[in-house]
Amino acid sequence: MSAATVKGWCPGAHRPMLAADGLVVRIRPRLARLTAAQALGLCALAQRYGHGYLDLTNRANLQIRGVAEGDHLALIEALADLDLLDTDPAIESRRNILVAPFWQSGDLIHRLSIELIDQLADLPDLPAKIGFAIDTLAQPLLTRDSADIRIERAASGLILRADGAAAGRAVTEDTAIPALLEMAAWLADHLTPDHRRMAQVLAHSPLPPEWCDAPALPAAPAPQIGRQSTGSLIGAAFGQIDAEALAQVIRAQSLQAIRLTPWRMLYLEGGTLPDTDAFLTDPHDPLLRVDACPGAPYCPSSSVETRAFAKRLAPQINGTLHVSGCAKGCARKTAADLTLTGRDGRFDLIRHGTATDTPERRALSPDDILREVNTQ
Ligand code: SF4
């Protein structure tokens, strides 16, 4: 029987979320890496049980949408066969670990991640959204991405840093994970109903001073789509990956593995930029500046189609664009230059704000909006 739960649950493979189009099954590849066999297997599962797409999340996980409740068990068994499933659902829900995706086999990120995975059972009970970042390349890469407790490299050596703090606690490879467990216990003790993430907690509860006396390094520049020294970064518009197209790239380039990033990009290990419009291969592609949630017909809160319209609109917009199926604004919480929110089959328009801000114009059709942006 399916373990589908009410909407609002942070979905996993064991406990998917029920959406308007079926179950949303989230897969959390370990160290954000899929071997070619795993990736091809997932592509086949997305085609067999979902809509044929894999959604890349901002925590470098993948989701298969549109799964029938009656197919959940077969999908779970197939994920287990691909070694993409934790046997214990409780461990799966705790394995919120972001890794800097350019790690090498046996390096510090690899070693620390394995150690943390092995000790997940020792974490205290925490809200499902609490996450960790193992970000120990020369400069931190994941500071803009969601994590509550971070292991980073600083000028003084390794540090353990609470999200929202400008400095961290000096640690070594041997003490990093025990210190992370200690900070997680501190966080569990300081959570309140209104403060459920580390940065919120720090606003009212200062850390012990010795946990924030080693200054963090500035963030590394955001990685760009294109060739890298050992592979290629390609983009997925809205984080949506066409499973058939991905399988073709893997086979055509005889890839050994791919990596997932929290930036709506895939890293092709040893790969080149593919010649296909299924992926973004130009670092200046306007779709890189666009956020759009699934909208109708996938989300019951939406009365408007979002992504096809966002693709039409993107080349006409100079700045950032957010097309949201409703005023909840799931796809983007920060301000965009232009935000459109669906309501009763039309869009409200907000400039330089978020989906929850008061609209400047209301009840516009897609053609109204295209005319409006073309006359500016
Ligand atoms: S923003 Fe609204 S329509 Fe879009 S996914 Fe969230 S709830 Fe659904």
Residues 365 and 324 both lie in one domain: yes
Give pLDDT tens digits for 75-96. Answer: 999 999 999 999 899 899 899 9
Domain final residue pick, 170, 189, 215 = 215
18 vs 29: which has the higher pLDDT: 29
The answer on 258 and 344 residing in a single domain is no
Protein residues with CB under 6 Å of any ligand 1 atom: 293-295, 299, 301-302, 324-326, 328-330
The domain that holds 21 is classified in CATH as 3.90.480.10
With respect to residue 108, please indicate whether it lies within any of the assigned structural domains: yes
The predicted pLDDT at position 12 comes to 86
Instruction: State how far the Cα of 62 lies from the Cα of 67, in Å rounded to an integer.
Output: 14
Q: 128 and 75 share a domain?
A: no
Alpha carbon of 24 to ligand 1 centroid (Å)? 14
C-alpha distances (whole Å) from 35 to each of 39, 59, 82, 83 are: 6, 19, 10, 10
Examine the domain organization and report whether 263 and 294 are in the same domain: no
Q: Mean pLDDT over all residues of the chain?
A: 95
Whole-number Å distance, alpha carbon 133 to ligand 1 midpoint, is 27
Q: Per-residue confidence at 325, pLDDT binned at 50, 70, 90?
A: very high
What percentage of the chain has pLDDT greater than the value 70?
Answer: 97
Q: Which pLDDT tens digit goes with each residue over 327-373? A: 999 999 999 999 999 999 999 999 999 999 999 999 999 999 999 88
Judge whether 94 lies within some domain.
Answer: no
Any domain includes 278: no
- Name the amino acid, one letter, at 96: N
Residue span of the structural domain in which 177 resides: 103-215
pLDDT in the model for residue 1: 37
Give whole-number Cα distances, 250 to 78, 277, 280, 301, in Å: 20, 15, 16, 36
Dist CA 17 CA 26 (whole Å) = 9
The CA angle 220-216-180, to the nearest 5 degrees, is 110
Q: Best substitution site from 324, 341, 354 to test ligand 1's pocket, by max atoms within 8 Å of Cβ?
A: 324
Does some domain include residue 261? yes
Q: Are residues 72 and 118 in the same domain?
A: no
Give residue 9's pLDDT.
Answer: 55
**Residue 316: what residue type?**
Q
- Is 224 part of any domain? no
**Residue 3's pLDDT band (cuts 50, 70, 90):** very low
Give pLDDT tens digits for 198-245: 999 999 999 999 999 999 999 999 999 999 989 999 999 999 999 999
Residue 329 CA to ligand 1 center (angstroms) comes to 6
Q: What is the dihedral sign for C-alpha 362, 364, 369, 371?
A: negative
Which numbered atom of ligand 1 lies nearest the CA of 295? 3
Q: In the chain, how many domains are there?
A: 3
**253 belongs to a structural domain:** yes
Q: Is the pLDDT of residue 107 over 80?
A: yes
Q: Is 5's pLDDT higher than 60?
A: no
The length of the chain is 376
